[in-house]
C-alpha cells in the first residue's frame, strides 16, 4: 500500500511545486509568488502531499478573520482521482479550523468540472460568479463556500471522506 505523507510546504519544495503547477494550470503562478506566500504572507498556509518521498500535490489557504480561502490546489496528473486531492483538502480544512475559520471559500473555473465535483463532495456550494475572472482567457469563476466548518453536517461529510482516503492509503 502506498504511504501518503502530508506536511507543510517549505521553500525547499518549490522546485517540485513548479513542476506540478506547470502541468496543472494554463496560467501557473511563478515560483517567486510561492516564495512570498511561504516566507512573508502571515495569512497563508500551504500543505504538500508526498508518496514515496515525491511531492505529488499541494494546496493552500489564506486565513482571513473567520474565513479560510482556498488559494490553490494541484495534483500531478498521474495521481489524480486517487484520493490525494481529498486528503489535501481535508488537511486544509483542519488547518482552517485550527486558525479559527468559520467557513471556507474558493474560486474555481467554470470549465473545471473535476475540481467542482471534488468541492461539492466536501459540501461546497456555489454562491456567486466572478465574470471574466481569469486573465489568461477571460473565463468566469464560480465562488463556492462550505457550511459552518463546525456544523454536524460538514463534520460528517469530512469524516466520511477521511475514511475513504484512509482505505486507499497507509498514512505515514
pTM for this prediction: 0.94
Mean pLDDT value across residues 17-22: 97
- Span 134-166, pLDDT tens digits: 888 889 999 999 999 999 999 999 999 999 998
Pairing of strands 170-171, 3-8: parallel
Say what the alpha-carbon torsion angle 12, 106, 118, 110 is, to the nearest 10 degrees: -110
Q: Is the dihedral of CA 84, 36, 126, 124 positive or negative?
A: positive
Banded model confidence at residue 172, pLDDT cuts 50, 70, 90:
very low
Mean pLDDT value across residues 95-105: 97
CATH superfamily of 3-171: Gcn5-related N-acetyltransferase (GNAT) (3.40.630.30)
Tell me the domain boundaries of the chain: 3-171
Amino acid at each position: 500500500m502506498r504511504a501518503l505523507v502530508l506536511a507543510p510546504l517549505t521553500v525547499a519544495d518549490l522546485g517540485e511545486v513548479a513542476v506540478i503547477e506547470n502541468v496543472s494550470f494554463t496560467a501557473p503562478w511563478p515560483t517567486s509568488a510561492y516564495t512570498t506566500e511561504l516566507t512573508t504572507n502571515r495569512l497563508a498556509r500551504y500543505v504538500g502531499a508526498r508518496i514515496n518521498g515525491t511531492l505529488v500535490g499541494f494546496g493552500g489557504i489564506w486565513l482571513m478573520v473567520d474565513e479560510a480561502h482556498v488559494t490553490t490546489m494541484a495534483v500531478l496528473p498521474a495521481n489524480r482521482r486517487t484520493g490525494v486531492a481529498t486528503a489535501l483538502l481535508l488537511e486544509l480544512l483542519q488547518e482552517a479550523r485550527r486558525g479559527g475559520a468559520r467557513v471556507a471559500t474558493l474560486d474555481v473555473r467554470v470549465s473545471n468540472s473535476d475540481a467542482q465535483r471534488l468541492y461539492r463532495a466536501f459540501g461546497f456550494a456555489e454562491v456567486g460568479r466572478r465574470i471574466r475572472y481569469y486573465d489568461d482567457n477571460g473565463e468566469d469563476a464560480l465562488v463556492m463556500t462550505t457550511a459552518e466548518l463546525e456544523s454536524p453536517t460538514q463534520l460528517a461529510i469530512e469524516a466520511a471522506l477521511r475514511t475513504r482516503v484512509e482505505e486507499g492509503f497507509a498514512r505515514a
